[in-house]
Amino acid sequence: MGGSEQLPHGALKGVKVLDLSRILAGPTCTQLLGDLGATVIKVENPATGGDDTRQWGPPYVVDFAGKQSDLSAYFMSANRNKHSIAVDIASAEGQRTIRRLAAEADILIENFKPGGLAKYGLDYASLRDEFPGLIYCSISGYGQTGPNSHKPGYDIMAQGFGGFMSLTGEPDGEPMKAGVGIADVMCGMYACIGILSALHHREKTGEGQQIDLSLVDSQIAWLINEGVAHLNTGMNPRRRGNEHPSIVPYGTYETADGHVILAVGNDSQFRRFMEFLKLEGLAEDPRFSTNPARLDNRDALNAILRPAVQRHTTEAVLAAMEERKVPAGPVQDLPTLFKTEQVAARNMVVDMDTVAGPVKLLGNPLNFSRTPVTYRRPPPACGDSTDEILGATSPFDLT
């Protein structure tokens, strides 16, 4: 087999994941694991109709009979490559089912409130001695410890408590969350990294372990430069809208027919940008000739640049910046984005057939030369694999 030839499965083929999570952070993690080849069994509560996000619509997939299915766009965004089983973990039978599955699983992931699974005997402390190799990932709002550990966590609360909203929005506007549940998604990615690290440790030692991860902790971790700057200076950063705290000009600028993004990262790029605007003198002006000077005189510079950029169309600015090798880009809406050749070339839209009908999903951005991402199962209807899995001698031995 040639070194460049791809294998017909993902790198995690054979890894078994028992997914007790719902909403977004946990399901994001388990979808990633599933995309990479793991077998994922998603446990859903039959009394509530399954994962909360099944009801977070519209839109929903409408089935062949014209009826609304339980496949909302929100649910489908994080739940492909999974088998769904309907199990009531509050019942003795349900608890036995989970323990049977945990006995075969490599990974269990859950996002109940800390202590929430203890009353069912399904918390890590109750399972670790019986299943010493189990990797048990717990996601919660604030973590398993600390004075806030008992509080529930939703994405917007993590963005607010974790400082992100204080940095986001217009300078004189209200604090603003991101347009999608980015705290949940990033927490899911940290969970995936932690699980893969724990798998590597288990391969060497045979030891499982618990991973304690919170939405707020992961949110704080990706305050990155702003968080570190505050810790070392004591200064409280202010909201700058789309502008950058350390680079000018950087942000969105209005054009004659829309908006354009400019990210002028160094002084030579700034000179070339000024040549296009026929404002060459600004590149020699001591107020603007260096990036530190431009930072000190941000408002004065933008008062000149904004009307100058607005005299040109978006297409003209983008063409001129590409010619001059100055970073620039469009502000695209979703209809425009998904029609681009770049999206098609990178396979970022996936077609799948659900029980309710065909759907389009976002692709996985990982590209492997040997162990490609695979799209084996569409987002499931609630409990669609219950009989198949619970009736199997080895429940995870399913494709």
Residues forming a β-bridge with 350? 361
Q: Which of 184, 212, 217, 384 is catalytic?
A: 184
Q: Is the C-alpha dihedral spanning 354, 360, 366, 372 positive or negative?
A: positive
Which residues, at least 6 apart from 311, have a Cβ–Cβ distance to it below 8 Å?
A: 256
Tokens of 363: 């692709």
Q: How far apart are CA 309 and CA 235, in angstroms?
A: 33
Torsion sign over Cα 40, 41, 43, 49:
positive
Task: Please identify which residue in the block is written with the tokens 């090798």.
Answer: 325
Secondary structure E strands in the chain: 16-20, 39-44, 60-62, 68-72, 83-86, 107-110, 135-140, 209-214, 250-254, 259-263, 328-330, 349-354, 357-362
Q: Is 184 known to be catalytic?
A: yes
- Classify 317 as helix, strand or coil: helix
Q: Are 29 and 107 in contact (CB under 8 A)?
A: no
How many Cβ atoms from other residues are within 10 Å of residue 330's Cβ?
17
Residues catalogued as catalytic: 184
